Structures are given as structure tokens and as C-alpha cells.
Chain A
């Protein structure tokens, strides 16, 4: 969520019990402004908190010209000193998937090791080879943040527009969903490169607005029911929680342009979801 409205928005997403202490809020207000100047970001978002066993990571995102592509992630332990996270490449994601297991420790230098025995050659020449995959926690963190953004980042429909040049920007005239629309999952979109959009039939595409509907709606997610949509704070605020990534909370106040999401959790994907519904 935007760092400038952090104070206000944090109370709206704290329904799952996690928030920031006054000290952390104050520190964020100071440090994120400096961060914005130093890295020349257009906007700085407070992304969330990943809880480790020994320490917690606070994560901020800086946004450049393009809201979707120009994003950089930074982490901090004390909300003051920020360190840039490496870019999550395909190879890195594969490595982390293999090696990293269990809870985050809270030490970026900690290395996860995984030994794998691979067979090479055939018949008598078969050689067993031990392959060691080493991944530092800093890289795991980068991949986790990237994956969470890819799988469960949420924006209301119409909040972002894609210009004819292909850049994605906030929609200045977004005035919020109305309460009826806000209760439906198909008015919320995944803020990531669309996967299913092109597969839609012409009939479905007919009432889509290409400058707004360039993203996948949440209602198409598989399995169905991987989201919990509720109205909280006296039924005024629409709160969406992901059941796939426990800890991701999105809020939107209908008929205002206030929306945002935050992740506060242990950074583990809920793979047991099919058994739990």
C-alpha cells in the first residue's frame, strides 16, 4: 500500500491481527521518504512483513514510470536501513523451489542447502552425481516476494490503465467500485502479467475495456474459493484475504479511491488448501 496513506490504511488491514507498532510506523514514515529520494522512485509502497524465527523482514517496494514493470523491492530489519533485493530470475526461482524449506530464519546470509543425487549416462556408464544447491535467505526472500506479487497481488478493476504505449499507470479518474460491485470477485484483478486473458471467448471479451481489463480477474482462479471476501469495520470496508498465501490482505473502501494490499505472514504458501475447503 502507498506509504503516504500508510497510517490510515494499516488499521483497515489489521483484521488478521498483525499491524505495526508506533515506533515502526514512525520509522517507516521517515525512512521511506529518504528511500524515495535516494532511489528516485515515483512512489514508494509498504509491501509488508515476513516473519522469521529470529528476526522479521520489513519489505518496501519502489515504483518507477511503469507501475507494473518498474518495481524494486527492498528489505529492512529496523524499518530504517533498506537493502535492495536481487531480481528474481527464472533460474533463481527454480533453485529456491528446490532448496528452501521451512520457516524463514531472519538472517539474510543463512544458506539453505539441498543435495540431490542425479544419474548421468546409461547402462554401465551410469554415474551418480551429487548436486548441491545452495541458496541464501536473501535470494529466497526476493523470490518469495516476487511469487506473492505474481500470484496474489490484487487491485480493483479500473484502478490502473494501460496506455497505448503499453505502460501501466494509475487511473486518475478511478472513483472506487460501488458497494454492489465491490462484493463480487470479478471486479478485482491480479496485478501481474495476465495469463488467461487471451483465452477468453469473443462474447466474454465484448464488454471488456481494453485499457482497463488488461489483467486477469480473481474469479477465474483455480481452485475456486481460494479467496475470502468480507466486509469489515462495520461493513464499510471490503477486505479480501488470500487463502493460498495466508497473510495477504487487500482492502478497498467502496466509492473512494482507497485500496491497497499488504502481506504480513511467515512467507509460506498454503499447499494444503485443497484439503481445507
Chain B
């Protein structure tokens, strides 16, 4: 019996040894064997004590195999490739450099308190994240350091397909502005002149169109109307700030008719109908002007009209406001309850594309005058002339509805602790525009795609109707060829006439001879 038991255990051991030998057999392809592999995998499981190890055993095994294949020694040296995040980090590092200013100037800095803005915005559920806002603050500091600014504000952010724009609204100190844009216009004019000259040189000129485009609406000067502020944009905090060109009325009018997303490249062309005059930088500036005019609001009484001593301005043309030093804060509940506690403090942009209406008819000829009037009639049938928008400091409650959507929604930041809550409004016309008020502080911000809410599907502008064909008259219609009979009839008639004339001549030839001679002469 003992023998047989020993035999059996021998047999078992032998079988086990055989199987182990089989497991130890190296693969012909990879020169690995299963036994060692299992050992490694199980060692790893023992080391790491994974939860539910059986579920991920395949992945573990794969990982172990992969780690075997890593080349540990290579004669090739690693060439570190710079990733975009490294490049950006390098550029952003400048922001964090501490510049030791020798003397502590107590000069008032135009730098806005973005940290405070972040704090209040976060309560209203708006914000870019604290870290990002901190970077923006540093970037604004950089802007303030390099430009002679009197006022600077974080306007907001506009999202694009490939990149986003961080927008700063600034005002230069008096007399320290650089004039950049003028040069560009002159170049354009020169080009036009050249083209004209070329046309004149041609011997046989092509017939010219008699169409004269309506005279362009003149641009508003710096520091007034739509060009009251200057705007700087940058793609990421730390990247250079780019100044946006001033906006023209034509750009605003076209921007109202098109609906395009921003790409994130300032020099990208705007492919649209009607054609937009300029590239994305101009479009961005036009949208900023429209958004500012529509959504910059402040609590009632914070601003008052500026009282100028030299009474030069006319009635209704009051276009500037100043801070009311005696402003007393309105209670949060009053701000939430009624929209009339909020007022616009940026001028409304008229249909003309300007804040202050300009009479084009005065400058141009009578012919153009008609056109201009017609256009105005189309735009505003009730008030053809002059265009008047709502005055400054108009309460929000008077804003027009769009497709039964009220233009503003008011909210309170917290219903649980309403004594410390702040009031805010959200624009429904420009999704992304917010304004909050807390005591005497208020701020506006826009973070969005830069597109207006239409309420219905967008209908692109149609091309103008084709030019009518010229009226068809006898001078341009083709006559039918006369038939043989007609020709003969005509011939006979002419012969008869001739004969009759000859008869007459014979009758009173002598009398009229002198007269005829005179006529011939």
C-alpha cells in the first residue's frame, strides 16, 4: 500500500515537474516564459494589493509585459521636445516676476481690483476660476505698466473656435495716445487714387457704373460715442496685448446683419454677406461696442449727468456722465424687485452706427440726399429725421422685448442668507453679460461667444434686387424686314411723290426758283 501511495505522489510530482518544465519553456518569439511572467504578475499583485485584482489581471499582465520591453540603455540621446504648455509657461513666468520699485509711490493706479471682482462674481455663479482670474489680473498689471493709462477695466472674455480673447477696456491719459490708425487710412486713399489714375490712362475706358454708393457715415472721434474707450485684447494671460482699431459706423451696421463666430485669430478674414469691411479685429471691436452699449448698466443714481458751465450743448445731447459722489446704496431687495433701479450708462448706438446722429444730407449733394432719406425711412418709418435713441441713464425696464423674451433677468445670489446677498442682472439679449451690485460697488462683465440672442432662426440678408433693364423703345428694337410688296408699294409712292413735285415745279417754277436757290444755300 505504502508503495502505491509513494508511487502516486511520485507520479503527481513528476506531472507537476513536467508542467513546470512546460511553463518554463521560452517562447520562440519573445524569449519569455509563462512561469516567470506569472511570478512577476503575482508579485505585483502581492505588492500592490489591488482591490478586485481578478478584474484587471489582463491589464496587469499587459503592463508587466510592456515594462519588460522598455529599453533601458540606449545610445540615442533624448531630444526634449518643447510642448505648447512649456512655451506658454515660459511666457507666463514673466507675469510673476516681482519688480522691486525703489520708492513706494502712493500714486493712484488704474489697475482694477480683479480679486474683488472674482469674489463677487463667484457668488453670482459667474467666473473663470480663481486661478485664471489671478492670471488675468497679472496680465492687466502688465498692460498698465507698459501703457500710459488713466483707467483700466477687465471688460470680459470672448470665446472663439481656436482661441479666446481677454478684453481690457482702457482710457489713455490726456495727450498720451498714440495715433496708429490714421496712417492706414491714408494708404487706402492713396491706393484709390492710384486706381483712378490707372483708369484715366486707358484709351478706351469701360463704361462706368453710374451707381454712387451712399456717403459713408463719418467715424466718431476718440473719446466719444462708440469710440469712447480703447480696447486691448490678448489670447492668453502673458501673451502680448493687442490694441483694437477704432470702430466705424459701417462696421457696426454690417455686424448687426451678420452672425459669425470668432476664430481666435485677429487677422482672420470675415467671410460674410453683406461683406464686412475689415478682418476679425474690426469685427471684434464692433461686437464689443454693441455689447457695451446694450449691457453696461449701473444702479440708479450712481452716475449723474455732467453739469458743464459753458452751456454749449443742446437739449438731449447730454452724452457724458460722471460719478455721483452722494450716491447712496439701494437695498438689495429693491435692486432685485424692479429693473427700474438699473440704468444704462453707455450711449445707445443708433441705426446709423453712431451714438450721435449726424446729418449726412448737409454734406453731400442733392442726389445723395434722397438716397439717405429713403434709407432712413426704411429704417424708422415713424421718425425719419433725425434719429434719436434712448438717452443715457435710461432704466432697464424700458428696454424692448425680443420675441416675448424679457431682456433682463434679475437674481439674488443667495436666498438662504439674504442679508449678505448681492443682487445681479443677467442679460437675455446678450447671453453672457452680467452686472452685480453690492452696496456702492457694481461691475459689469461679459463672458460669451459675442453673439446676440435673436429669438428665432437667423435669416441672412438677401442680396439687393437685380438692376432693372433699360426701358425698351423704338430706337433699340429691331425692325422687321419689309416684304417685296411693301417695298414696291413704297417705291410707287415715292415715284408718285416725285412726279407730283415735278408737276408743281413746272407749275410755279419760275416763281420759286429764287427761293429754292436761297434754301439750297
Interfacial residues, chain A to chain B (CB-CB below 8 A) = 11-12, 14-24, 49, 51, 53-54, 78, 102-103, 172-173, 179, 225, 228, 230-231, 233-236, 241, 243, 246, 265-266, 271-272, 275-277
Contact = CB atoms under 8 A, between A and B. Distances in A.
Nearest to A265: B431
A22 B122 contact: yes
Nearest to B454: A272
Contacts of B84: 231, 235
A241 B83 CA distance: 22
A21 B89 contact: no
Contact of A275 (B123, B403, B460): B460
Q: Is the interface of B mostly helix, strand, loop or mixed?
A: loop
A265 B428 CA distance: 11
B1 to A, nearest CB: 50
Contact of A17 (B126, B259, B261, B451): B126
B405 A228 contact: no
Contacts of B448: 16-17
Given A234-B88, A234-B92, A225 B123 contact: no
29 contacts: A11-B129, A11-B130, A15-B128, A15-B164, A16-B447, A17-B127, A17-B447, A17-B448, A19-B125, A21-B124, A21-B125, A22-B122, A22-B123, A23-B123, A23-B416, A103-B405, A103-B453, A172-B55, A228-B159, A228-B161, A230-B163, A230-B164, A234-B88, A235-B85, A235-B89, A275-B260, A276-B259, A276-B261, A276-B451
Contacts of B445: 17
Nearest to A171: B59
Interface of B: 55-56, 59, 83-85, 87-89, 92, 122-132, 156-157, 159-164, 259-261, 403-406, 409, 413-417, 426, 428, 431-432, 445, 447-449, 451, 453-455, 457-458, 460
Contacts of A276: 259-261, 451
User: Which of A16, A20, A271 is the most central at the interface, judged by chain B CB atoms within 10 Å of its CB?
Assistant: A16
Contacts of A17: 126-128, 156-157, 432, 445, 447-448
Contacts of A241: 159
A233 B164 CA distance: 12
A24 B415 CA distance: 11
A234 B128 contact: no
Contacts of B454: 272
Given A23-B414, A234-B85, A271-B457, A14 B129 contact: yes
6 closest cross-chain pairs (CB), A and B? A17-B447, A235-B85, A11-B129, A272-B458, A173-B59, A228-B161
Contacts of A24: 125
A19 B122 contact: yes
A189 B125 CA distance: 29
Contacts of B432: 17
Nearest to A52: B409
A225 B160 CA distance: 12
A50 B496 CA distance: 97
A228 B159 CA distance: 10
Nearest to A183: B84
Given A102-B455, A231-B85, A54 B409 contact: yes
A272 B406 contact: no
A276 B92 CA distance: 32
